[in-house]
Amino acid sequence: MKPLEAVNDFVVKFANVNGSGSASANELFARSILRMGVPVSPRNIFPSNIQGLPTWYEVRVTEKGYLGRRGGVDLMVAMNPQTWDKDIKEIEPGGYVFYDSTRALPKSKFREDIHVLGMPLTEICNSTYTDPRQRQLFKNIIYLGALSALLDVDPKAIEQLFSEQYKGKEKLLDSNVKALYLGRDHALEHLQCPIGLRVRPSDNVGDRIFIDGNSAAALGAVYGGASVCAWYPITPSSSLAESFQSYCKRFRVDKETGKNRFAIVQAEDELASIGIVVGAGWNGARAFTATSGPGISLMSEFIGLAYFAEIPVTIIDVQRGGPSTGMPTRTQQSDVLACAYASHGDTKHVLLFPEDPKECFDFSAQALDLAERLQTPVFVMTDLDIGMNTRLCQPFEWDEEQAYDRGKLMTYERLEAGADFGRYLDVDGDGIPYRTLPGTHPSKGGYFTRGTTKDRFARYSEAGPDYVDNMQRLQRKFETAKTLVPKPVLHSSSQPARFGAIFYGSTSPAMLEAMDLLAERGIPVNALRVRAFPFADEVVDFCNSHPWVFVVEQNRDAQLKTLLVNDSNVNQSRLIPVLHYDGTPITARFIVDEIVRHAAVHSVVPIKKVVS
């Protein structure tokens, strides 16, 4: 079998044991390629476990900058005997396996059509290090060194990363550099370097940054002015609150007094987390919680209260595989309906769908504005794929000129001047009433907040007309939300396209790559990235202007499609669901295959013959 040959376009997958210290070495590998100007897209595929179970790290090297998961593996770094057979099976024909050859493996353990690269890693470690922990940790750095030789990765790039990481810790720096060259030199001496897969310096990274979505969302919350964060640990959102804590320690400690301009409470459960956020929002502080699907289920009662009592709340939902405990460490977009209609009774909530860390930053900050402007819960619908993987994205930006939108706050001065205050009075016709904060005025503007029905002046009322009046105003408010949320982004095909595709969130890189591949196959597709619910009119127009529209999602039940049909009166027969929900991030290959299949069913003859 001819070995695979590719420059700056291949997939390396690391199969490791959880807790073996491989994560940082693997990330160094990805970063070193970035430093060579070649885009990479890494993904952690990890178990719900701290130590012992299998974990993988997949790095897609992509000159063209396709940041979605590609599928398939060209080089497997097989460091985990538990998953050996499965890992070997996954390698593309002509691909490579790199493994620890200290103990000989029978021939039956390999495949005829792959190329085997063995290095006695354990032996090298045992003869170099005496401390068992060092033997384990440096094994990762040694294979990193070997890979630099095998793939033509510049060792100077890795050294540079070491020196940034171990600034001021010279001893650690030296020992890591030593281990790196131990592996590199051994490979250069004993293996044929480089192999068919190579990294060539390029200039395609630009000024983009490399960060995970949870950190980005946390930073967005800091910039957006959140001062209260209440949360309960849950994968995959925990690192968001922890990241908020570390950014706050950096940016929100008063230099003179040493006191914090933030309060973070790790609550006893998700009910308390959202309760604290509701209390803080009611009292005028910007507050948020970060959670995942099971947390949303628990928070639902409070979400209904915040909707009905009209309290600003920001919820960042880092979605994982559901239902129930589901797949805690796998990705999905399966909370869309649960969040859009969270809680009993007639409720509807604002959802924002970030595509990457940059938008996690932007939307988290914007959600805090929207929540106060609309006095309602606002959800940032990220997911594990964006949240827990470092992703290349545009640098963060902040407009100093733009003030926080505190919404309609009735002040002491206005009350004193005799302003007519009714807590649920629609003064401006946009469905958004004015609110006062507790303690504003000694005798005016006080009111009783409740989850029960009330009249325009916040007085308890179960009278039908009062109830209907209030519910209709809430509906008007939702219409107003439509004009305030981020607009959809259109990606037009360069050729006239009969098919449209709607997508959102982490599907973005796979969809954009699929558009290119489909165009090559003669199936041009216009794609619209939905960034918020309620849907802007552009979304409905897009659906109406294409005979068929694929709705590409990462859930089983076509949840966004349901929302489109339910809430925007889009003709259901135009919409064709493309659904990926096995817990792995959706790939361009999957989207292309599905669309090609449907395109054939809808009797469209491709211009070029389909090759698949």
Partner 1 sequence: MTYIAKPKLHHPTLPANKIGFTRRDYEGKISTLCAGCGHDSISAAIIQACWELDIEPHRVAKLSGIGCSSKTPDYFLGNSHGFNSVHGRMPSVLTGANLANRDLIYLGVSGDGDSASIGIGQFAHVMRRGVNMVYIVENNGVYGLTKGQFSATADQGSKSKRGVVNSDSPVDLAALALQLGATFVGRSFSGDKGQLVPLIKAAIVHPGAAFLDVISPCVAFNNHTGSTRSYEYVREHNEPVNRIDFDYWPKREEITVEYPEGEVVSVTQHDGSVLRLRKLAKNYDAHDRITAMNYIQQHQAKGEVVTGLLYVDPDPEDLHRHLNTADAPFNALSAGDLCPGSAALEKINASLR
* Shortest Å distance, C-beta 257 to partner 1: 7
Sheet holding 73-78, edge to edge: 40-45, 54-62, 9-17, 73-78, 91-100, 115-119
CB neighbour list of residue 370: distance below 8 Å, 6 or more residues apart: 350, 352, 378, 405, 481, 484, 485
Q: Quote the least distance from Cβ 286 to partner 1, whole Å.
A: 8
**Nearest residue (CB) to partner 1, 97 versus 298:** 298
Choose among 172, 150, 152: nearest CA to 161: 172
For residue 395, the minimal CB distance to partner 1 (Å) is 4
Q: Which is nearer to partner 1, 257 or 612 (CB)?
A: 257
Task: Give me the least distance between CB of 184 and partner 1, in Å please.
Answer: 24
* Inter-residue contact 612 to 522 (CB < 8 Å): no
552: left (phi over 0), alpha (psi -120 to 50) or beta: beta
- Of the two residues 52 and 438, which places its CB atom closer to partner 1 in the complex? 438
247 vs 456: CA distance, rounded Å: 41
> Is residue 214 a contact partner of residue 387, using CB atoms and an 8 Å limit?
yes
Least distance to partner 1, CB of residue 507, Å: 24
* CB of 224 vs partner 1, minimal distance in Å: 8
When the beta carbons of 26 and 243 are compared against partner 1, the nearer one is: 243
Tell the residue number behind the tokens 């009111």, with chain if given.
Answer: 447
Distance of CA 21 to the CA centre of its chain: 24
H or E element: which one contains 342? none
Contact 228, 277 (CB under 8 A): yes
Q: In angstroms, what is the minimal distance from the CB of 222 to partner 1?
A: 7
What span, in angstroms and rounded, lies between the C-alpha atoms of 271 and 61?
Answer: 42
The smaller minimum CB distance to partner 1, of residues 53 and 285, is found at 285
Between 153 and 586, name the residue whose CB sits nearer to partner 1: 153
The nearest distance, CB 299 to partner 1, in angstroms, is: 11
Burial readout 158-193 (b: 16 or more C-beta within 10 A, e: otherwise): bbebbeeebeeeeeebebbbebbbbbbebbbeebeb
Q: Decide if 297 contacts 338 (C-beta within 8 A).
A: yes
C-alpha angle 12-17-22 in degrees, rounded to nearest 5: 60
Q: Which is nearer to partner 1, 219 or 234 (CB)?
A: 219
- Tell which residue, 77, 76, 81, has the closest CA to residue 105: 81
> Is residue 580 within 8 Å of residue 71, measured between CB atoms?
no
| Closest to partner 1 by CB, 3 or 451 | 451
3-state secondary structure of 356: coil
Q: At what angle do helices 270-282 and 293-309 cross, to 10 degrees?
A: 30
Q: Measured between alpha carbons, how far is 311 from 288 in angstroms, rounded to an integer?
A: 12
Q: State the nearest-atom distance from the C-beta of 20 to partner 1, in Å.
A: 26
**Contact present, 531 and 353 (Cβ < 8 Å):** yes
Q: Which residue is listed with tokens 């897609």?
A: 60
Of 110 and 396, CB closest to partner 1: 396
Nearer to partner 1, 35 or 529 (CB): 35
Kind and range of the H or E element at 203?
A: none
Q: Which one, 120 or 225, has the nearer CB to partner 1?
A: 225
* Nearest distance, CB of residue 410 and partner 1, angstroms: 12
Cβ 426 to partner 1 shortest distance, Å: 21
> Min. distance of Cβ 278 from partner 1 in angstroms?
6
Whole-number Cα distances in Å, 258 to 65, 228, 243, 252, 510: 44, 18, 20, 9, 46
How far apart are the C-alpha atoms of 227 and 482, rounded to whole Å? 27
* CB closer to partner 1, 245 vs 480: 245
